[in-house]
């Protein structure tokens, strides 16, 4: 249901991005290129490219600076289909800007961008299901619940692994692939002091964490010994 409400926004943003590229004279793939292709080719190109953008966004959000945005999603200790909707507004904005910007730049039509968004959202809900499922010989091609549960597991070896939302080949290609065996480990990021389910506290959490990081960095700079001046 949420995807139905978000789809017009994705469509409108796609049109806005295309117009912006034209206004700023930024070279991009013309829409006529995809108009000459079978719709299935365009759809697959949209899905594959969107997941590429999502992979690198996700990887950024597992860095020190990006983690405060993403930790809200990982705060769920009972991962299930609804976990896919437990995301911070900043994460939604970042993901949308990046994949819409990239897909529009390569000329994917707005309706196909919406289709890629809907397919990705439904698959994202699927991989969060509390089910012991993998895809056998196709584990590298399409993410499964087992694959993604390891990503949410509170296991140090799995931190920052299995980052692809849909296509695990990206993890294999960029060195973040972990495994797809059944995962019965503890879920969530409780050790980061996440404030439960309070929506207001969860919303301000990234800003509090960034403030703490900035304060720590400034303290570190001030604590550095001054260089010795010859006298």
What averages of pLDDT result for each successive group of 10 residues across the chain (231 residues)? 69 87 89 92 97 97 95 91 91 94 94 93 95 94 97 93 97 96 86 71 91 90 71 52
168 in a domain, yes or no? yes
Residue 72: exposed, middle, or buried by beta-carbon count in 10 A (0-12, 13-18, 19+)?
Answer: buried
20 in a domain, yes or no? yes
Q: Could you tell me if 88 and 203 are in contact, meaning their C-beta atoms sit under 8 angstroms apart?
A: yes
Q: Could you tell me if 41 and 109 are in contact, meaning their C-beta atoms sit under 8 angstroms apart?
A: no
Cα angle 195-201-207, degrees, rounded to a multiple of 5: 105
Q: What is the pLDDT of residue 189?
A: 74
229 in a domain, yes or no? no
Phi and psi torsions of 187, nearest 5°: -100, 155
Q: Which residue has the tokens 């405060």?
A: 68
Q: What is the pLDDT of residue 1?
A: 46
SS3 107: coil
Phi and psi torsions of 93, nearest 5°: -65, -45
228 in a domain, yes or no? no
227 in a domain, yes or no? no
Q: What is the pLDDT of residue 220?
A: 82
Range of the domain at 84: 2-222
Element (H, E) at 155: none
Q: How many domains in the chain? A: 1
161 in a domain, yes or no? yes
| pLDDT over 70 percentage in the chain | 93
66 in a domain, yes or no? yes
pTM (two decimals)? 0.89
42 in a domain, yes or no? yes
């Amino acid at each position: 249901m949420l995807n139905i409400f978000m789809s017009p926004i994705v469509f409108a943003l796609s049109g806005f991005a295309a117009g912006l590229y034209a206004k700023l004279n930024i070279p991009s793939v013309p829409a006529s290129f995809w108009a000459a292709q079978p719709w299935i080719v365009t759809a697959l190109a949209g899905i594959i490219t969107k997941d590429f953008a999502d992979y690198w966004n996700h990887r950024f959000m597992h860095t020190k600076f990006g983690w405060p945005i993403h930790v809200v999603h990982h705060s769920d200790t009972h991962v299930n289909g609804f976990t896919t909707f437990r995301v911070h507004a900043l994460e939604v904005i970042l993901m949308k800007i990046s994949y819409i910007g990239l897909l529009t730049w390569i000329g994917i039509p707005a309706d196909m961008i919406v289709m890629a968004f809907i397919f990705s959202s439904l698959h994202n809900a699927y991989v969060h299901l509390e089910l012991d499922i993998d895809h056998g010989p196709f584990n590298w091609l399409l993410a499964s619940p087992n694959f993604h549960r390891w990503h949410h597991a509170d296991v140090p070896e799995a931190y920052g692994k299995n980052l692809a939302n849909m296509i695990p080949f990206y993890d294999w290609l960029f060195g973040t692939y972990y495994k797809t065996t059944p995962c019965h480990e503890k879920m969530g990021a409780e050790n980061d002091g996440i404030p439960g389910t309070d929506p207001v506290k969860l919303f301000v959490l990234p800003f509090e964490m960034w403030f703490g990081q900035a304060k720590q960095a400034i303290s570190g700079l001030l604590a550095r010994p001054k260089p010795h001046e010859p006298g």
